[in-house]
Amino acid sequence: MIVTEDILHIHSYYSPNDLYDKIINGLNKLGKDVSKVTLDDLQPVDEFHIRGDAATKELIELAEFAPHMHILDVGCGIGGSTRRLSYETGCRVTGIDLSNEYIDTAERLTQLLNMQEQVTFHACSALELPFADNAFDGVWSIQMNMNIADKPTWLKEIHRVLKPGGRAVLYEVCGSTNTPLYFPVPWAQDGSMSFLVPPASFRDAMTSAGFDIEVWNDKTDLARKAFANAKEPEGEPDLPVLGVYLLVGNDIQTKAYNLRRNLEEERVSLIETVAVKPDSGTAGVRG
């Protein structure tokens, strides 16, 4: 993997210590029998995106992936939606993520759930996927473009590893009418690790990479509703036993509050899209 300053900077943001042990400790504190842990038990911590498992289930319906397929989850985090996708569809799913700590945790949680035959993981960058051309029947990527400055390279990589006729399902935070953003936000401590573009530019980047857009839904209103009660924290944070703060730090309530402000003031938007790699492989490429 080519390790640039940008990649190291993003990597350090997503590198908590002892993450797996902290999650197991949380499950114990909640009185869960760890040998019988379920996907639902892990939801509060392993679905690190706006509207969590509810959004994942909507995307699974939209994707229409069939059980025989092999899907690539790009920027899978600790694998919550990777496992949910496999569980609901019967697909084999490979997850990749930049963070070694997340991938280690994803592998161990997957073993705990006895899903390791169907769900596997690799630590690598989405800008340099270690897979052959046309290797996957489908691609799935949830809220990672925010950390990618070089969107053309990322989208070309996804397009390259997808079989002709295959579908890519993306659920992504974009910019909006106004700038700048309030920081920190859940994906970035400051502007040096956040690279949002407006939805129209994102769509153009996808078609330039060779995709035909089949579905394009604006989910910003649902995101606004989901964060409508996020308040500016006062004093010591009052954190739940299990939560995504274990992944990105105890200032998660400030991050959620800033996301609320960014959504309400039209600084951030949320889209879901299904895009197809045309059968000819290059039919959609422009320039």
Ligand X SMILES: C[S@@+](CC[C@H](N)C(=O)[O-])C[C@H]1O[C@@H](n2cnc3c(N)ncnc32)[C@H](O)[C@@H]1O
Residue numbers of the site for ligand X (CB under 6 A)?
Answer: 10, 14, 47-49, 75-77, 80-81, 97-99, 102, 125-127, 142-144, 147-148, 187
Of 101, 157, 107, give the one whose Cα is nearest residue 129.
Answer: 157
Per the structure block, which two tokens stand in for 20? 């797996």
Ranked by CB distance to ligand X, the top (closest) residue is 77
What is the closest distance, in whole angstroms, from the C-beta atom of residue 31 to ligand X in the complex?
25
Closest approach of ligand X to the CB of residue 280, in Å? 28
State phi, psi for 223 to the nearest 5 degrees: -65, -45
**What's the min distance (Å) between Cβ of 246 and ligand X?**
12
Give whichever of 183 and 281 is closer to ligand X, judged by the CB atom: 183
Backbone angles phi, psi at 74, to 5 degrees: -95, 115
Q: How far is the CB of 55 from ligand X (least distance, A)?
A: 9
Q: Do the Cβ atoms of 272 and 62 come closer than 8 Å?
A: yes
Which residue's CB is nearer to ligand X, number 37 or number 123?
A: 123
Within 8 A by CB and 6+ apart from 227, the residues are: 50, 256, 259, 260, 263
Comparison of 143 and 254: residue with beta carbon closer to ligand X? 143
| Rounded least distance, CB 234 to ligand X, Å | 26
List CB contacts of 129: < 8 A, sequence separation 6 or more.
Answer: 72, 74, 96, 157, 158, 160, 161
Q: Which is nearer to ligand X, 171 or 211 (CB)?
A: 171
Among the listed residues 191, 202, 176, the one whose alpha carbon sits nearest the alpha carbon of residue 265? 176
Least CB distance to ligand X at residue 173 (A): 8
**Beta bridge mates, 96:** 74, 122
Of 223 and 284, the one with the shorter C-beta distance to ligand X is: 223
For the bound state, the minimum distance from the C-beta of residue 103 to ligand X, rounded and expressed in Å, comes to 9
Closest to ligand X by CB, 55 vs 69, is 55
Dihedral sign, CA of 128, 130, 134, 139? negative
Contact 88, 60 (CB under 8 A): yes
Beta bridge partner(s), residue 235: none
Nearer to ligand X, 158 or 206 (CB): 158
Beta-strand pair 268-276/162-175: antiparallel
